[in-house]
Amino acid sequence: MKKINLKEKASENKGEYVFGAEDSGSHACYMIYGVLKPGEKERMIRPGKGHEEILAAVKGSLTVTGQYSVALEEGHAFHIEGEQTCFLENIGDSEAVYIVAGGHSGHGNGHRH
């Protein structure tokens, strides 16, 4: 078992870290841990061909634009797939944290990394 400090890794990688095959040894699924500072925007979410993702707001609320336009409150999630594209913005006064859980859909098996 490999234990990863996602918060630390995200801060070292422009606010986002992909826990994927390099960490788990598996290409079946991946998870993205992201942090947006207050006022930060334009964080793109696009699963890519052959992938599907579930995006969940873990801390704070996010404004989502693009494929969907919605306020994503803490504890809420939505599904996105393929080339669908969304952008995240933190309009709050404190740091926002999100998780993206993804994997291969039945349409192909490219890799997002």
Which residues face 102 on adjacent strands?
30, 53
Residue whose pair of structure tokens reads 């993702």 in the numeric block: 53
Alpha helices of the chain — where are they, by DSSP H? 6-12, 21-24
Q: What's the confidence (pLDDT) of residue 12?
A: 95
Q: Which ranges of the chain have pLDDT less than 50?
A: 108-109, 111-113
Q: How far is the CA of 98 from the CAs of 56, 58, 78, in angstroms? A: 6, 5, 12
**What domains lie within the chain, and their CATH numbers?**
6-104 (2.60.120.10)
19-48 pLDDT per residue, tens: 999 999 888 999 999 999 999 999 999 999
Would the pTM of this model clear 0.85, i.e. be above it?
yes
